[in-house]
Structure 1
Amino acid sequence: MLDSLDAVAAAPEHHIVLFEDDRVRVLDTVIRPGEETAVHTHVWSGVLYVISWSPCVRCDEHGTVMMDSVRDGVSPVPGTAIPAAPIPPHTLKNVGTQDIHVILTEFKTA
């Protein structure tokens, strides 16, 4: 059973399960310009494949900025894969003009 803050349960309009078994889960995530996700978590590490990117701001559940992609120099190139660490409760707001579109493969390990 999923925790209520799991990305799929808490922010289903932004996270769609493409595949899931007992070892991995693959999520298709799209955040359009101006959109902000509901507070959610990612409890597993994995790999993020970037389809398109836009400047964004990640805040914790209290609204404190955890990451500002412009300030922090985070701008992954579309077509690349990058490691993804677990993320505690957060929101993500697309503050740019392009879609953020990523495929996240999560590894269900202890």
Structure 2
Amino acid sequence: MGQDPVVANPSLYRVIFENDRVRVLEYRDVPGDKTVPHGHPDSVMVTLSSFRRRLSGQGEHIDVEIPAGAARWLAAQDHSGENIGDTETHTVFIELKEPPPGKNPDDGVPLPLGPSGS
């Protein structure tokens, strides 16, 4: 997995809670802000503001638009992002520290880029 997002992008991510099973990050940016490549474990993302972002990773990019108050699953992934909208981004990530049951996190199978609704 890529660099810790808090280390890679310390002006945008901060740890707001952590224990032995989860870590909770707050993310804030403004239009035009970009993140450098970093990695996330399996996470739940809760959007506190509506936003539009371009995520890049695995040799591709996708544009996502998510309303405020949404909760999305974010499979483990490495990516960078850019706020391509005209609003600030404010999200919370609940990162899981345990691998999925019965799955090898290092099996080399690429996972989808970006958040999903399930």
Q: Structures share a fold, TM > 0.5? A: yes
Query: 1:72 maps to which residue?
Result: none
Give TM-score, length-normalised by structure 1: 0.80
Distance 1:4 1:41, change over 3 A: closer
* 1:67 paired to 2:62: yes
- 1:56 and 1:77 map into 2 onto residues whose CA distance is 12
Which runs of structure 2 are paired with 1:19-98 in the superposition (5 Å)?
19-42=17-40, 44-60=41-57, 64-69=59-64, 75-88=65-78, 90-98=79-87
* Matched AA of 1:15: Y
Distance, in Å, in 2 between the alignment partners of 1:4 and 1:46 is 15
**Secondary structure of 1:52's partner?**
coil
CA drift at 1:4? 7.0
RMSD over aligned Cα atoms: 1.8
Higher relative contact order by CA 8 Å / sep ≥ 6: 1 or 2?
Answer: 1
Give how far 1:53 is off. 2.5
Identity over aligned pairs, percent: 30
Note the C-alpha offset of 1:26: 0.2
Distance 2:91 2:24 in 1: 10
CA spacing shift, 1:8–1:21, aligned 2, 3 Å: same
Would the aligned equivalents of 2:51 and 2:66 in 1 still touch at CA under 8 Å? no
- Of residues 69, 80, 103 in structure 1, which corresponds to 2:92? 103
Distance 2:2 2:61 in 1: 21
Q: CA deviation at 1:21?
A: 1.1
Unaligned runs of 5+ in 1: 70-74
Using the TM superposition, give the Cα deviation of residue 36 of structure 1 relative to its aligned residue in structure 2, in angstroms: 0.3
Contact 2:2 2:37 in 1 (8 A): no
- The alpha-carbon deviation at position 66 of structure 1 amounts to 2.3
Runs of 4+ in 1 over 2 A off after TM superposition: none
State the aligned residue count: 99
Structure 2: segments with no counterpart, 5+ residues: 100-118
